[in-house]
A and B are shown apart, each in its own frame.
Chain A
Amino acid sequence: RKEVEQDPGPFNVPEGATVAFNCTYSNSASQSFFWYRQDCRKEPKLLMSVYSSGNEDGRFTAQLNRASQYISLLIRDSKLSDSATYLCVVNSGDSSYKLIFGSGTRLLVRP
């Protein structure tokens, strides 16, 4: 079983749609959670951290469910520029700074 699992997609949605991605992680000791965005052939960039209470940044909302060990990302009012791969990232749960990356979920927003 992978440590971080994501549906690879692609999710193909029209502009203005709401889309949600889920991610599950296997290590209950993980304490830090993130969503990174990666455009084609480019470096990953932090989209948002995920806090226990959930957090929102404009059109993006992240939620954490520790009991079920999953993380979600909701994108409202999708834009063409949201087309990218979204990486779910968790820390290793030990004293290192190791981050474990999911394989990513690809989003395509069409006009």
Chain B
Amino acid sequence: EAQVTQNPRYLITVTGKKLTVTCSQNMNHEYMSWYRQDPGLGLRQIYYSMNVEVTDKGDVPEGYKVSRKEKRNFPLILESPSPNQTSLYFCASSSGGQGPPYEQYFGPGTRLTVT
């Protein structure tokens, strides 16, 4: 089954404790992206990756890191989480290629609470 998986689905942590949210897709997609969703603000892009070893900042990259060592995986790293990073996080992927962006497939989301 074609899918994007994220882990963990729920996480409560404390300020300053480094954490990683994993994202994996089995569709051989080139493009992957991380979003956060907050009430009234919609989905905002954190980082994206056009392909292996190619990553770039989105709209709200501060406090986050990513890596893309393999095509299927795109982990999101919070080196020193703070309460303002409490949010619902989504990973997404699409096939990319030339021309307009294709449909983005989203993971189930990770609900993060930083106390």
Chain A residues with CB under 8 Å of chain B are: 4, 8, 31-32, 34, 41-46, 49, 87, 91, 96-99, 101-104
Contact = CB atoms under 8 A, between A and B. Distances in A.
Contacts of A32: 100-101
B61 interface: no
Contacts, number: 54
Interface residues of B, number: 26
B31 interface: yes
B41 A43 contact: no
Interface of B: 31, 33, 35, 40-45, 48, 50, 56, 58, 88, 90, 94, 96, 100-101, 103-104, 106-109, 111
Given A43-B90, A97-B94, A91 B106 contact: no
Nearest to A91: B101
Given A43-B90, A43-B109, A99 B40 contact: no
A49 B94 CA distance: 14
